[in-house]
Structure 1
Amino acid sequence: MTERVFLHVGAPKSGTTYLQRVLDANRAGLADAGVLLVGERHLDRIHAAMAVREDPRLEELPASAGKAWRRLVDQIAGWRGDAAVLSYELFAVASAEQAGRALADLAAYDVHVVVSARDLGRSVVSAWQERLKFGLTTPLEEWRPKPESVQGSEWGWRTLDPSGVAERWGASLPPARVHVVTVPRPDAGPAELWNRFADACGLGSVRVDLAVPRANESVGVVQAELLRRTNGRLRHEISGSRERSVWIRDLLAQEVLAPLGSERIGVPDAQSAEAAEVCARAVSRIEESGYVVHGDLADLRPAPSSDRLPSEVTEAELTDAATACISALVATMRDRAEARPRARTTSAPAGPVVPPGTRARARNLAARALGPYDNARVRQLARRVEELEREVQQARRLHLRVATLDDVVRELLLDPEVQDSGVTWAALRDYRRESL
């Protein structure tokens, strides 16, 4: 029976994708060691976090999405091992009340909350990049994360500041069960991040394979500026978070632009200064709270940056990047067209080799792209069915009224000799012509 639950609640852009890939890749080995990786799919964890946060976007999703948190709780209850680990970064958005209700559902277990965080100056740049992927047009030098007090902000200080996340999620827990994992500086290597996380989750003795593919989700400084300018043209063409996530984030940013350049984006002086102030307060709050720290809180301080800012990108660089982007986009769409199922023929013409995984990515993208339209079509058809059902009921009631009126006319208005004769309907027509 499950005894301990480790709830990794974020923060975003703190190595969470890497950690989750390691967990997923070692699911079987963790299970053999008595550790459940909660959630069969990453999407289950996304929906569970939305349910905990009472995200209004759940209304646009199938009803099963709203029950995802309850399913994960049931999965933990059914586990026969000693421990369970649940990791998803946007649990960090939850309010203290929402976090409290979620923890109440896990009251039967020894719950530990794990919060990871990185250099807060780099966190600001990463948050700006993520906002770019959803249509942001504000230049980095003018952008600021929203204050911690702004509820529901996924890319503000509410999620980036580990002290606030730890306080909201750890309000009902002893400090010894609230863990802050700091992301090491780049020269330490990814294994050090896993070691710190494993220590926080009691996984230090579990052998895992750390050779997982690294996802390149960041865009270079030139490509980021190109994306920002492109968003200005797309704002009227692509709207809504689901459309933006498919076409701007997944296709344009991550699939096309990210492979074209990886020059790191610098941290503007104003944002670095603000991050330093937030860091000083966060370190003080964490130290005073008595939370368990895995790593060094100094890792949260903004490191000096000599990288270029988006405003320093030249027009010539943007022209070259735009040309490369168009070429890559055409090639991507060509590959997807080639990946579509075709009728088998005995002499199929030779064509370009489709890269491995392209078909799956294309099907996934198509499903996600059409999802909003499919949902809207289903809702439209459901409304039409309801209208038709109402019309049928009205027609039935009308037929009953006509039958009743027919009986009344027969009894009161027609001569008894006529009622049973073959001229009944002729008599009714005469009555209508003369009386109405």
Structure 2
Amino acid sequence: MTQVLHLHVGGPKSGTTFVQHVLEHNRAVLEEAGVLVAGPRLDLIHAAMAIRGDRRLADLPESAAGAWERVVDQVRAWPGRSAVVSYELFANASADQARAALALLDGVEVHVVVTARDLGTAIASSWQEQLKFGLTRPLEQWSPPQESAADSEWGWRTMQPANVAARWGADLPPERVHVVTVPSGPVGPDELWHRFAEATGLDDVADLDLAVERANESLGVVEAELLRRVNTAVDGRIRGARQKSLWQRDLLAHTVLAPIGREPIGLTAAHLDEATAQAEEAVAAITAAGYRVHGDLGDLRPTTRDARLPGEVTDEEVAGSAALALADLLVWARDAGADVHARPAAEEDVAGGRAARVKGAVRGSLERVTAPVRDRRVARLEQRIAELEEQVAQSRALHLRVATLSDVVAQLLLPAAQQDEEITMQALRTYRDRSL
């Protein structure tokens, strides 16, 4: 059983995607160094939901409820020096939920790792993430949900690093609670990884490849305002977290709108004041608690920037981005081979038929766009299967050698009168053939 687990619990939008891509990309190298990267990711998503008692588990396969137990079993079965578990929405767990989750790891030296960034930037990111799930409120009239909002995945409950660390580290010695800050100043592109590696004991692993895809799912200020207006026009016709994540987040926000523009989103004076207060509270609490800091706590303080608010975007700018977005969707619908002349089952249901045709076209487009990601995942899984098959083959060979040696020993331990010299010599020859 492994002796040490580094549990990276978040928070969201704090470089977690980059860190997880590095871990996944270097899974085989890390395992050779004795470090397990626990997963797969779907189990981690379900594990976080199970820990938090998320009501959405009721709509998932029954196995989802046991995901955390499977992750724990995987960690306990690992014979190497350590394991890493990383998923950002563990951050949303209450102190009691975190305590119950950690109780299953009794006997393992658990280190909790919290990543955090400039809390002003975190406000803009939080608003964006809620836009991707249908939010219609303008940024100027919105503020992150407070700590007491237990069901908030995109508020101070998950963005405030001191509170996340306190909930997950309540029963741990302070030296086993690590706060990793996202660099806010001009540093090398891999600085966040180096800080994370220091926190998780991976800084001594050689030959890690840090040249991973750096996904940028942030929207520019114009595109964010466009998405907000689209959410208003959708008017509740896309329902449920799964449907919203597929169509509004994955397709429209990430695939279509994010590449169009990257102009940063500004904040109101009230937002900056709120972020500053949260940052000062975090710096004071983390320092007082004696947690180990990797980076600079000053990175949490918001930096003023010359950036527009969404309300300052003009209608002409929104129309320009909308035209580009529609053009991309039109081309993708064509490439998906959608039959625009298909008639609905009920001929009179014109609106329903139009919706069905568009949905079919967009679904095909989404599958085409996400195919490279799926192909890379399949390639990684195939490589992992090959590695496991090789390990199984080696294990079988070892078991055969042990079984043959047992036969030899059994013969040699018999009284001389009962020994069969031919059987003994044959057992020795077999053992020699299987061992050389």
For this structure pair, what is the TM-score category when the shorter chain's length is used for normalisation?
Answer: 0.7 to 0.9
CA distance in 2, matches of 1:2, 1:362: 35
CA distance in 1, matches of 2:249, 2:366: 21
Q: Write out aligned runs for 1:357-436 (5 A).
A: 358=368, 361=371
Q: Give the gaps of 5 or more residues in structure 1.
A: 339-353, 365-436
SS at match of 2:178: strand
SS at match of 1:6: strand
Q: What corresponds to 1:254 in structure 2?
A: 254
Tell which deviates more after alignment, 63-72 or 159-168: 63-72
Structure 1 residue runs of 4+, over 6 Å off?
A: 354-357
Q: What corresponds to 2:382 in structure 1?
A: none
The one-letter code of the counterpart of 2:213 is P
CA distance in 2, matches of 1:214, 1:335: 27
CA distance in 1, matches of 2:185, 2:67: 35
CA distance in 2, matches of 1:35, 1:172: 25
Q: CA deviation at 1:236?
A: 2.1
Q: What corresponds to 1:282 in structure 2?
A: 282
Q: What corresponds to 1:221 in structure 2?
A: 221
Q: CA deviation at 1:30?
A: 0.4
The one-letter code of the counterpart of 1:42 is R
The one-letter code of the counterpart of 1:273 is D
The one-letter code of the counterpart of 1:132 is L
The one-letter code of the counterpart of 2:132 is K
CA distance in 1, matches of 2:373, 2:333: 13
Q: Does 1:291 align with 2:291?
A: yes
SS at match of 2:42: helix
SS at match of 2:216: coil
CA distance in 1, matches of 2:239, 2:365: 30
Q: Is the 8 A contact 2:179 2:293 kept in 1?
A: yes
TM-score, structure 1 length as denominator? 0.77
Q: What corresponds to 2:17 in structure 1?
A: 17
Q: Is the 8 A contact 1:94 1:152 kept in 2?
A: no
SS at match of 1:337: coil
CA distance in 2, matches of 1:141, 1:124: 11
Q: What corresponds to 2:124 in structure 1?
A: 125
Q: What corresponds to 1:99 in structure 2?
A: 98
Q: Does 1:78 align with 2:77?
A: yes
Q: What corresponds to 1:26 in structure 2?
A: 26
Q: What corresponds to 1:244 in structure 2?
A: 244
CA distance in 2, matches of 1:89, 1:238: 26
Q: CA deviation at 1:235?
A: 2.9
Q: Write out aligned runs for 1:18-417 (5 A).
A: 18-39=18-39, 41-185=40-184, 187-207=186-206, 208-337=208-337, 358=368, 361=371
| 1:357–1:24 distance in 2 versus 1, CA, 3 Å | farther
CA distance in 1, matches of 2:312, 2:78: 54
The one-letter code of the counterpart of 1:3 is Q
Q: Is the 8 A contact 1:220 1:265 kept in 2?
A: yes
Q: Give the gaps of 5 or more residues in structure 2.
A: 339-363, 375-436
Q: Deviations over 1:200-259 (max 9, x none)?
A: 000001121110011121111100000001000113210111110000000000011011
Q: Deviations over 1:124-143 (max 9, x none)?
A: 00000000000000111111
Q: CA deviation at 1:333?
A: 2.6
Tell which deviates more after alignment, 206-215 or 16-25: 206-215
Q: Is the 8 A contact 1:135 1:235 kept in 2?
A: no
Q: Is the 8 A contact 2:139 2:310 kept in 1?
A: yes
Q: CA deviation at 1:263?
A: 1.0
Q: Is the 8 A contact 1:265 1:307 kept in 2?
A: yes
Q: CA deviation at 1:323?
A: 0.5
Q: CA deviation at 1:306?
A: 0.5
SS at match of 2:143: coil
CA distance in 1, matches of 2:368, 2:234: 25
| 1:82–1:247 distance in 2 versus 1, CA, 3 Å | same
CA distance in 1, matches of 2:299, 2:369: 41
CA distance in 2, matches of 1:363, 1:23: 16
SS at match of 2:336: helix
The one-letter code of the counterpart of 1:282 is A
Q: Deviations over 1:306-336 (max 9, x none)?
A: 1111111111111111111101112223333
Q: CA deviation at 1:305?
A: 1.3
Q: Deviations over 1:373-411 (max 9, x none)?
A: xxxxxxxxxxxxxxxxxxxxxxxxxxxxxxxxxxxxxxx
The one-letter code of the counterpart of 2:113 is V
SS at match of 1:259: coil
TM-score, structure 2 length as denominator? 0.77
Q: Is the 8 A contact 1:336 1:359 kept in 2?
A: no
| 1:310–1:87 distance in 2 versus 1, CA, 3 Å | same
CA distance in 2, matches of 1:235, 1:270: 29
Q: CA deviation at 1:362?
A: 9.9
Q: Percent identity?
A: 56
Q: Is the 8 A contact 1:137 1:232 kept in 2?
A: yes
SS at match of 2:193: helix
Q: Is the 8 A contact 2:95 2:170 kept in 1?
A: yes
Q: CA deviation at 1:162?
A: 0.2
CA distance in 2, matches of 1:355, 1:55: 31
Greater radius of gyration (CA): 1
Q: Is the 8 A contact 2:251 2:366 kept in 1?
A: no
